[in-house]
Structure formats: C-alpha cells, structure tokens
Amino acid sequence: MVNSPAVKEKPENIRIRKEKLMNLNNLRDIGIVAHIDAGKTTVSERILYYTGKTYKMGETHEGTAVMDWMQQEQERGITITSAATTCSWKGKTINIIDTPGHVDFTVEVERSLRVLDAGVVVFCAVGGVEPQSETVWRQADRYHIPRIVFINKLDRVGADYKRVLKQIVQRMKVTKACPLQIPIGSEDSFNGIIDLVEMNAKIYRDRTGSTYEIRTIPEDLMEEAESMRTAMIEKVAENDDRIMELYLEEESVPDDLLKDAIRKATVNIHIFPVLMGSALKNKGVQLLLDAVVDYLPSPLDIPPVKGKNPHDSQEITREADPAGPLAALVFKTMTDTYVGRLVFVRVYSGTIKKGSAIFNLNLNHNERVSRILKMHANTREDCDELKAGEIGALVGPKNTSTGDSLCDKNKPVILERMHFPEPVVAVAIEPANKAEEDKLGEALRKLTSEDPTLRLSVDAESGQSIIKGMGELHLEVIVRRLKEEFNADCRVSPPVVTYRETITKAVKVEERYIKQTGGRGQYAHVILKFEPLETASGVQFEDQVREGRIPKEFIPAVEEGVREALSSGALGGFEVTDIKTILMDGSFHEVDSSKISFKIAGGKATKKALGGGKSIFLEPIVELEVRVPSEYLGDVLEDLNARRATVREMSTEQDQIQVVRADAPLAEMFGYATSLRSLTQGRATHSMEPSRFQKVPDQISANLTG
C-alpha cells in the first residue's frame, strides 16, 4: 500500500498565518485595578494622552475623564462601570479595561480580570494597601494574572513608597514584589525616577510629562540604587540560570538580558515588577507603558485557555490561533442608547466575523452577529471581525448573557464561568402609577441582565418588586439609572440588609407525595438528610441512592425541588445557605412517578426539615478600615462598639493617623460615612468590603422574627 503524500500548506496561507501570529505577539490585553481613589482612572487618562488616543488629559476631579463617561461617574468622581479602549505604544496594541475601585462594583473587576491576560495594580503612596487593594489582588490570583504594581501619588503629602512596599509584603503576603524603580525626591520635591534596570535617572522638566532628561544617578541616591538593583537581580536570578551565573561570578548583567529575564519571570508570575510615579503630575506613566509592552504577556505567552467538552466533561484546551476553532467568552452585556444591546466578548481561539452565526453552547442554538464594535469608553468603531486575543462588542445576539461560551458547533467547548458575590442589601421598588408598570418592569429586566450582582424578586405578601445589590451605593446608582436612563418613575424604600438562614443540627426527613385524581396519579417517596456546613460553604447536594431505588432521571428533579425550597427559610423567609442535602433512599411507582412529583416531594421534605433543624439567622459582616487622626480615635471606637463592631487590629501611621481595622455587621453600618464625618469634622476616611455571614446575636434575632 502506498502512503498518500502529505498535503502541503500553500505559501500564501503560511504567510497569512505568520502575520496573524505576529499581530498576536504585538497585543496586550490588560486591566487597571485598585482600591477607590488610588488613581486608576487618572493613570488610564494619561495612557490615552501619551499614546495619542486623546489630545487633552481628562481629569476625574473635573468630571472630564474619558473613561468615566457615565453622568453619575462624572458627578461622583468615581468609576462605576468598567470601560474598554484600545491604544498603541511602540508598535504594540494595548487593549485596556479601566475598572471601578468601589467594593459595590467589584463584579466589574471580576469579569474584566476573567478575560484579561495581565493587570496593572495601582496603589496610593499615601493610603498604601487598602481593603479593596487586597480584594482585587485575590481576584487576580484566582485567574492567575501576571501583574505590574504602580505606586501612584508620590507627589502627595505623606507619600512613602517604602511603607507601601512593606505593606504589600506583610499585609498581602506578596513576597514576589520586585521594585524596578525608586523615586527621586518625595511629596512636592518628587521630580524624577531612578531606573534600576538601566541604572540612570529620568528627570521631568516638562509640565505635561511628555519628555524627560536621562541623567546619571544623583550621588546621594547611588548607594540605595545599587542596593535595590542587587536585590532586584537576586529575585530575577532565582528564575533565570543565565542571570544567576553572572550574579554568582559578580559580573555585570547586560540590560537586554535582564529585561528578557524580567519578562519571563513576570509572565510566569514569579515576580511582580514595581514601578513608581504620579499620574496626576504626569510622571512615570510613559515608563509604565514601556513596562507594559516589555514585560506583560501577549496572548501567545499565556497558557492555552481551558474548557470542558459538554458531552463527557473531559478537559479541552484551545490555542490562541485566529484560524483555530472558535472559543470565546461573554463577560459583559449592556444596553446602548444608540445601537441597542451590546455583548462584550473575549475571543480566545478562532475568529468571529460580522454577519455570521455563532453557536451559544449554554443556549444550545445559534445567534446572529449583525455588527462588531471596538469600544473606546462610550464611543464605538465598526470592524469586520474579532480574532483570537481580541476584545470587542457584538450587536445582534438577543439571548446571550454574561458567562456564556461561544464556540464552533462541531467542536464545542464550555469555558469556566465567572464567580460573582451574593448581594447583601435590598430595596423594595414599585411604579409611581399604573402607567409606569410596564416601563419599570422592562427597565429592571435590562438592568438585571447587565449586572449579575443585581437580583430581582417579588415579595409574595406585598407583591412589591425587591431588588438586591452589593451595597447602598450600588442600589442608589441603579435607582438613578432607572429614573434618568429609562425614564421609569418609581418609589423606593430605604435599603435593608438581606439576611440568610441555616440549620444548626442534622435532621432526617421522609416524605411521600401521593396524589390520585382519576387516571394517572402522582407518586414520589424520598428520604433526605440535611446537615449544617461550615460558613461560606453554600448549598450542596449529594446522591447516595443505591440499586436504582429511585431512577437516575428523577434525581435532578429532587435536587431542583430542594434548592427551590431553600430559597425561603422557616424563620423569616430568607435564603438558606451553608447546608448539605443527602438523598439517602426512596421509592417510585412504575406508572405514577414523574419528575414533577419528585420535585414536589423534595421541596416538601426540605420545608419540613427547615422547621425541625433549629434554624438561625445569619447576617452579612463587612471588613472595615478607618483612618482617623489620634484626637478622634476614642469617639470613633466608642461609635464602632455601639455598632457591634469587633476591632481586629490597630496601628499608627505617620502624622498621628490611627488605622483601625474591624469586623462589623452590615446592618449597623448604614449611614456610617455621614456619622464618621460628624464625629471627626470630616478628617477621617473609611472603606468597607463584604467578608462573610455569621450568626445573628439572640437579642437581634428575636427582633427579626418578631
């Protein structure tokens, strides 16, 4: 038998493939993340200016930031929704997503980091490591994101980069932080940066920061610079044999060799390069851009995206290849006034073309793509296709939602969905009059479709719509959007905490559901055991039925009935969590059993168990950090004690600023910002982030049931 000769790829196809891969190598997909007020958006605005994307620097404090395009963002001076843009620097294309820093909008950070290849984490040189800094760092850890650290605001009074570095190591346990720069001067005298890689000084003379002079390192800083460079080389050498050899032989390390080693170590998350500057005063941002293109990965540098085969759950990988089978993830949807519904996607493999049909694996049907847009904040640019490694917005898909996988129908792959925190604050909302009912309902449907942390339900007794969100500010923003964007006139109740319920002892329940109505009846028999779980375990279901006592096709129906019943607890009707359900045994009828009968039996058994499992209330706890001048510390601690807060840690920073870290019940923290301003004459600042749920004290619990 003669083997057929291998089919050779045409030279033209080889050339096109190489060009596409070269383009991928020149691409950077990055996010800018930080605690609120660390200066993320100002960094983004300077990047847009220096890359020529804008001709004027936008300022958050003036409400002119391009990336904060929503009216509420400009009024409040904060970022509410993540904004995407694309720019170029030194021949590289950089896709940037600027994310919010406020904890109420942490979902925007979560879904952005899920689809990005790298991040720039901004720290304030005065505030240092703050609660949301730790949160975004953990989110980046979850998705194995290479990062550059940028210590911002070195021009501010009280700026201290050494203190920030110490906090990063001690409070965040980040031993891989690797400074590549040190500042020249501080506060008002901050005027340049020492580059530890090239061992020179960059001095800024131009007010816009567009140019800087390269000089020798000042003598009074030479010893510190040499010491810091040695420490940097030691860190890099741990991951590069060539650098280690030169270091041990006490030979000089060439700049290009050092940069290559830093890039490799950064891409593999062995180090996190640390840079310095002041975005507001236009210092250090160009060097940050250099580091982004020099050290952060392209789509070709990161491991192939992993997913699962929907048929057998086997792991599948997809290379970053524009010619490969399609694999893309929807990470955001939003409603645009001019073009309608936008579906934001990251393409990992393959290409999405305008006018094509794409297969949504979660929906199991095709969706039509009528337009493809590249976004620049709230403006848009039409394009013909989105290739592997690119991020863009699709117009056309009507039912696709956040977390859905788009793929080749013949080569399906389901990508990992995103993790979203549970909402903890709720308000009741109703139309101002009958005429507004449909408009309000449609607006709420669109907003809950956009925001996975916004939940909508209907109160069974009052018939009111209940919306749940991540905090007071989150719901305040939503209500304003309802009134201003959607012109929905509505009435809203004051915000209240959404509690949870759980059981404190195991309980075993047997339930038979039998119904005869002439003709075919209904029959289901289940024996379930319910056990309390550790905090933050959620809801678990386990099937222990043996020997086909209940047919396999009925097991999911039992679980569905259980989960539906757990949505409303026995004490106050709150969602039940931290509970495990074990389906132990049961029986069925050859004719009368059905999925619906087993679902009903599972639900009835659950309601019975909740009544006998000694249920308790759980309340959301927040981690609180307060920075307060020493003279007001006593008043602040007394107020926190009255709010049932538990102080975990106290420390003193320069200028007699006391830092108080505490755990507090969210229910006691409504209006805390106003109270703190009053107690300290506006001189204290605070930040909060959700932490966990814990048992409500008995005296408070009695009020909830009463």
Q: pLDDT per residue over 283-313, tens digit each?
A: 999 999 999 999 999 999 999 999 998 888 8
Q: Which residue has the higher pLDDT, 338 or 574?
A: 574
CB 288 within 8 A of CB 44: no
CATH topology for 305-415 is: Elongation Factor Tu (Ef-tu); domain 3 (2.40.30)
pLDDT at site 7? 47
Report the 3 state secondary structure along 418-482.
Answer: CCCCCCCEEEEEEECCHHHHHHHHHHHHHHHHHCCCCEEEECCCCCCEEEEECCHHHHHHHHHHH
Q: Kindly list the distances between the CA atom of residue 293 and the CA atoms of 290, 302, 509, 552, 575, in Å, as whole numbers in the listed order.
A: 5, 15, 61, 54, 47
Rounded (5°) CA angle 376-380-381: 110
Q: Which residue has the higher pLDDT, 8 or 356?
A: 356
Mean pLDDT of 163-191: 91
Residues 251, 40: Cα–Cα separation, whole Å: 39
Q: What is the pLDDT of residues 97-125, one digit of tens each?
A: 877 766 667 777 888 888 899 999 999 99
Q: For the chain, what are the domain ranges?
A: 17-295, 305-415, 425-498, 501-613, 618-705
pLDDT at 281 over 50: yes
Find the helix packing angle between 241-248 and 255-267, rounded to 10°: 130
pLDDT at site 85? 84
Which position has the token pair 């300022």? 59
The end-to-end CA distance of the chain, in Å, is: 87
CA dihedral sign of residues 659, 660, 665, 670:
negative
pLDDT at site 68? 46
| Domain at 501-613, CATH from 1.10.760.10, 3.30.230.10, 3.20.20.410, 3.40.50.10110 | 3.30.230.10
CA atoms within 13 A on the CB side of 673: 4
pLDDT at site 36? 75
Give strand pairing partners of 15.
Answer: none
Range with the lowest mean pLDDT among 287-296, 499-508, 667-676?
A: 667-676
CATH topology for 425-498 is: Alpha-Beta Plaits (3.30.70)
CB 454 within 8 A of CB 466: no
Q: Residue 93 CB: number of other CB atoms within 10 A?
A: 18
Range with the lowest mean pLDDT among 178-192, 457-471, 611-625, 636-650?
A: 457-471
Task: Cite the DSSP H helix spans in 7-86.
Answer: 11-25, 40-50, 71-76
Residues 574, 568: Cα–Cα separation, whole Å: 5
pLDDT at 235 over 70: yes
Binned at pLDDT 50, 70 and 90, residue 61 comes out as very low
The CATH class of 618-705 is alpha beta
pLDDT at site 530? 96
Q: What is the pLDDT of residues 443-484, one digit of tens each?
A: 898 888 888 888 888 876 667 788 988 888 888 888 988 988
Mean pLDDT of 520-541: 92
Q: Kindly list the distances between the CA atom of residue 282 and the CA atoms of 61, 66, 158, 205, in Å, as whole numbers in the listed order.
A: 15, 17, 19, 11
pLDDT at site 2? 43
pLDDT at 22 over 70: no
Identical fold, 305-415 and 618-705: no
CB 337 within 8 A of CB 322: no
Range with the lowest mean pLDDT among 46-55, 275-284, 389-398, 664-673?
A: 46-55
Q: What is the pLDDT of residues 326-340, one digit of tens each?
A: 999 998 888 877 788
Q: Kindly list the distances between the CA atom of residue 503 and the CA atoms of 561, 612, 616, in Å, as whole numbers in the listed order.
A: 18, 9, 6
Residues comprising the chain, all counted = 706
Nearest to 197 by CA among 250, 239, 237, 255: 255
pLDDT at site 458? 80
Residues 102, 673: Cα–Cα separation, whole Å: 14
Residues 663, 666: Cα–Cα separation, whole Å: 9
Q: Which residue has the higher pLDDT, 241 or 72?
A: 241
Which position has the token pair 């404090």? 61
Q: Which residue has the higher pLDDT, 654 or 179?
A: 179
Q: What is the pLDDT of residues 362-371, one digit of tens each?
A: 889 999 999 9
Share above pLDDT 70 across residues of the chain, in percent, rounded to a whole number: 90
Task: Cite the DSSP H helix spans in 305-429.
Answer: none
Binned at pLDDT 50, 70 and 90, residue 64 comes out as very low
Q: Is 27 left (phi over 0), alpha (psi -120 to 50) or beta?
A: beta
Q: Is 271 left (phi over 0), alpha (psi -120 to 50) or beta?
A: beta
pLDDT at site 176? 92
Mean pLDDT of 16-32: 76
Q: Kindly list the distances between the CA atom of residue 388 and the CA atoms of 18, 87, 145, 680, in Å, as whole numbers in the listed order.
A: 14, 18, 18, 53
Tokens standing for residue 244: 């280690």
pLDDT at site 6? 47
Tokens standing for residue 107: 């979902």
Q: Is 472 left (phi over 0), alpha (psi -120 to 50) or beta?
A: alpha
pLDDT at site 521? 86
pTM of the model: 0.78
Mean pLDDT of the residues in the chain:
86
Binned at pLDDT 50, 70 and 90, residue 518 comes out as low
Mean pLDDT of 570-574: 87
Binned at pLDDT 50, 70 and 90, residue 15 comes out as low
Residues 355, 159: Cα–Cα separation, whole Å: 53
Residues 34, 206: Cα–Cα separation, whole Å: 28
CA atoms within 13 A on the CB side of 231: 16
Architecture of the structural domain at 17-295:
3-Layer(aba) Sandwich (3.40)
